[in-house]
Amino acid sequence: MERTDDDCRGTRCNLMAQLVSIFVAPTAGAPMQSLDWVDAVAGRGLVGDRYASGQGTFSGRMAVFEGAREVSLIDRASIATCNQRLQRQANNALHAPDLRRNLVIEGMRLIEHKDQYLAIGDVVLQILGSCPPCGYLSRLLDTDMRRALRGIGGVRARVETGGVLRVGAAVSCLSKG
């Protein structure tokens, strides 16, 4: 079955993508912690993360989409593009935890999968929309992250089917079957 850009729910599509990093922060502003695995809970998010416990910077604000703060994802290529835009070299490059996204995916342009479902191992996430950078991230990093991440800031997702997320897990788009 080929990947489609339609609502993808049902059968797995062939994509060469992988979960390469997992990060959570227990409270707003706390440093992101790298994990090898994490429990994803439907309707809540990632165990140990600030948004799953209602402790995130934006937890008290109305979400753009129901469940929008459960999980944030960014693709590895977008992190490299961000550093190019900022003209950062390897010795002062921004890294995944600096961008405060929960999951880093390699091999998939996430923004192309808005309103679709992704399977990461046995966990199913629904991509709800983009995760544009905010003024908070710019203040935290003391640089214009709105410019640096324009159009490549990642996506927001909700946990449709919970389970364990593990670094190295295959990521696939689910398509109509």
Is residue 79 assigned to a domain? yes
| Residue 94: inside a domain | yes
Which residue in 111, 105, 148, 113 sits closest to 131, CA to CA? 111
The pLDDT, as a whole number, for residue 52 is 76
126 within some domain: yes
For residue 91, pLDDT over 90 is answered with no
Question: What's the DSSP call for residue 61?
Answer: S
> For residue 153, is it within any domain?
yes
What are φ and ψ of residue 78, in 5° steps? -70, -35
pLDDT at 70: 86
CATH, residue 24: 2.40.33.20
Q: How far apart are CA 77 and CA 152, in angstroms?
A: 9
* CA-based nearest residue to 15, from 99, 89, 82, 109: 109
Whether 2 is in a domain gets the answer no
| Residue 102 forms part of a structural domain | yes
How many domains does the chain divide into?
Answer: 1
For residue 3, how many other CB atoms are within 10 A of its CB? 18
Q: Which domain holds residue 80?
A: 10-176
pTM of the model: 0.82
In a domain, 117, yes or no: yes
At residue 6, the pLDDT reads: 43
Find out whether 127 and 117 touch, Cβ atoms under 8 Å.
yes
What's the mean pLDDT in 110-127?
92
Q: Is the CB of residue 100 less than 8 Å from the CB of residue 69?
A: no
Residue 4 lies in a domain: no
pLDDT in tens, 17-67: 999 999 999 887 789 999 999 999 998 899 998 877 665 554 444 444 454
Tokens of 35: 């994990």
